[in-house]
Amino acid sequence: SDNDLAQMLLTFAEELDRKPVHADDLPRDAKPEEELRRVKRRQGRRDLANFENLPVTTQVHELSAEERACPCCGVERKEIGADESWQVEYLPGHFERIHHVRKKYACPGCESNGDNPRMETAAKPDAAIDKGMAGPGLLAYIVTSKFSDYLPLYRLEDIFQRQGFEISRATQSVWCGDVADLAEPLYELMAARVRASHVVATDDTILPMLRKGKCANARMWVYVGDDAHPYNVFDFTLNRGRDGPKYFLKDYRQVLLADGYGGYNGVVAGNEIVRAGCWAHARRKIIEAEKVAPEIAREAIDLVRALYAVEKQAKDASVPERLKLRQQQSAPVLAALREKFLVWKEQLLPKHPMAEAIHYALGQWTELNVFCADGAVAIDNNVSEREMKRVVLNRKNSL
């Protein structure tokens, strides 16, 4: 919401003031993977006739009385013309053209004395994109529509055409890249806040990427901070290798909450990161086996439900209280569940769906028990899975 955005900007304002404004000024360490080919972005079309049917708002930018005084001789400068420019802007509910008129003044006193007249032009608000036609409201509308409302750019292209003007998806794509560059300092601050968390939850999904002659399966990762650092950030990599999360987490040394993907073993190996497992994934595999092993699966599901019943009871408890409750009630359930798994494992063929579910759980049993040793760790990774739905919906709508 607008209030959430305003609060975020207030939160980061002091740190942003100390950051370089332009992304090019930021130190860039190459990722430990294949570098993306950087394509020089062309300027969007500036066909102003395309927007002639939009209502016009004229903003006249004047010099103050102090600015009109000639710094050379003190005589008040006279108006000699104006610089004019146009922007296409979006205000809630409608689009319009902004006609900027910047008054220009020159000093008659200097001119009468045979000197070059000292000229001054009134300033206008800084543009989000230098010399760009799109106003900040229009850029915000496009980016919000694509990434928060899951509208692909070709649908926005149709929406603009119904409004009586054209902004091609190619131009919109260029603008999205420009906004990403502008937002990079804020992104880096949010990423640093996430890495300051005691617990970081992560998940990933496939993101098809066009390449020359083929479509490659790149990955999008999400990293979610804890309650003290309530931020979530996304990171794009060309593949699902461990180098992506290893690079993002950098010097992080606390708890990583994730599913059973083996690549995370390389991320936590050799450092102080504690890897926590996800009971939602383990439960899902047991449920999938229920059709072929109903009695065993239901017994296991009932025990997992008992774990979640404790979580429901501890939802509003403090971290120490939650840990105490888990150790009193969840730990015995985990011990019973492990005993059941070991017995069933001997009774089932290795390829049996229930045997595979048991193998998945026992293979990360230490990770699945972390929440019983740390009251701040969630029982599952659902928080990052919910955030990943944004990417999934965008992917579905765009393909």
Digit-by-digit pLDDT tens for the chain (399 residues) are 545 555 555 555 555 555 444 444 444 555 545 444 454 555 555 566 788 888 888 999 999 988 989 888 888 898 889 998 888 888 888 899 999 999 999 998 887 776 777 889 999 999 999 888 999 999 999 999 999 999 999 999 999 999 889 999 999 999 999 999 999 999 999 999 999 999 999 999 999 988 777 888 999 999 999 999 999 999 999 999 999 999 999 889 999 999 999 889 888 987 889 999 999 999 999 999 999 999 999 999 999 999 999 999 999 999 999 999 999 999 999 999 999 999 999 999 999 999 999 999 999 999 999 999 999 999 999 999 999 999 999 999 988
pLDDT value of residue 40? 53
How far, rounded to the nearest angstrom, does the alpha carbon of residue 289 sit from its chain's CA centroid?
Answer: 35
pLDDT value of residue 290? 93
pLDDT value of residue 118? 83
- Two tokens, residue 143: 């980016």
- Two tokens, residue 280: 């939602």
pLDDT value of residue 26? 46
User: Which residues share a beta bridge with 138?
Assistant: none
How far, rounded to the nearest angstrom, does the alpha carbon of residue 187 sit from its chain's CA centroid?
Answer: 8
pLDDT value of residue 398? 87
Amino acid at 110: C
Continuous H helices in the chain: 2-17, 65-68, 108-112, 136-147, 153-162, 169-195, 243-249, 263-268, 279-288, 294-313, 319-325, 331-347, 353-362, 365-368, 382-398
The residues, any chain, with a CB within 8 Å of residue 162's CB and separated by 6 or more, are none
Q: Is-contact 148 189, C-beta < 8 A?
A: no
Number of H helices, E strands in the chain: 15, 9
- For residues 238 and 209, give the distance between their C-alpha atoms in angstroms, rounded to a whole number: 9
Q: Is-contact 203 385, C-beta < 8 A?
A: yes
Q: Is-contact 38 77, C-beta < 8 A?
A: no
pLDDT value of residue 22? 47
How far, rounded to the nearest angstrom, does the alpha carbon of residue 156 sit from its chain's CA centroid?
Answer: 21
Amino acid at 70: C
Rounded (to 5) percent helix, strand, coil in the chain: 45, 20, 35
- For residues 98 and 87, give the distance between their C-alpha atoms in angstroms, rounded to a whole number: 5
- Angle 206-211-217 (CA atoms, 0-180°, nearest 5)? 15
Over its C-alpha atoms, the chain yields an Rg (Å, rounded) of 29
- For residues 294 and 370, give the distance between their C-alpha atoms in angstroms, rounded to a whole number: 29
Q: How many residues does the chain have?
A: 399
